[in-house]
Amino acid sequence: MAKKKGQAKKQKRTVTQGIVNILSTFNNTIINITDPQGNTLTWESGGTVGFKGTRKSTPYAAQLAAQKAARRAIQEYGLQEVEVRIKGAGAGRESALRAIYASGLKIKLIRDVTPIPHNGCRPPSKRRV
């Protein structure tokens, strides 16, 4: 297929700083690497690495997903240092963080952004018989 006339070649951009968002639920772990503005550079999850069912939620699946995402961000965008934001209470929190550190990315900041209820939901009304 021929390229359209006047269409510019897509430039490879370099991003040295970024944000790693780790969403760790009880069923899966999703690693999303963005630039400082929040535009996604690359993402991986327990499912995209090749795990199905209950194995997606294991620390090993989270570790592989984090390694793959970090490696891709380093190769394609030249990422060097990141800020890590962890959300959720799943099993893959720690192992994903360790895998990002081991992949060669410099971690500037680790922040837990798990939502915490400040008084919970409104309780159900008292039952009238």
CATH of the domain at 30: 3.30.420.80
**Continuous segment of H or E residues that includes residue 112:** strand 106-112
**pTM recorded for the entire structure:** 0.82
pLDDT value of residue 111: 95
Distance, C-alpha 56 to centroid of its chain: 14
Residue 76 within any structural domain of the chain: yes
Q: Is the pLDDT of residue 121 over 90?
A: no
pLDDT digits 0-9 by tens, 22-70:
999 999 999 999 999 989 999 999 999 999 999 999 999 999 999 999 9
Range of the domain at 67: 17-112
Residue 96 within any structural domain of the chain: yes
Residue 68 within any structural domain of the chain: yes
Residue 97 within any structural domain of the chain: yes
Domain count, the chain: 1
Residue 32 within any structural domain of the chain: yes
Cβ 54 vs Cβ 63: under 8 Å: no
Residue 3 within any structural domain of the chain: no
Q: Is the pLDDT of residue 19 over 70?
A: yes
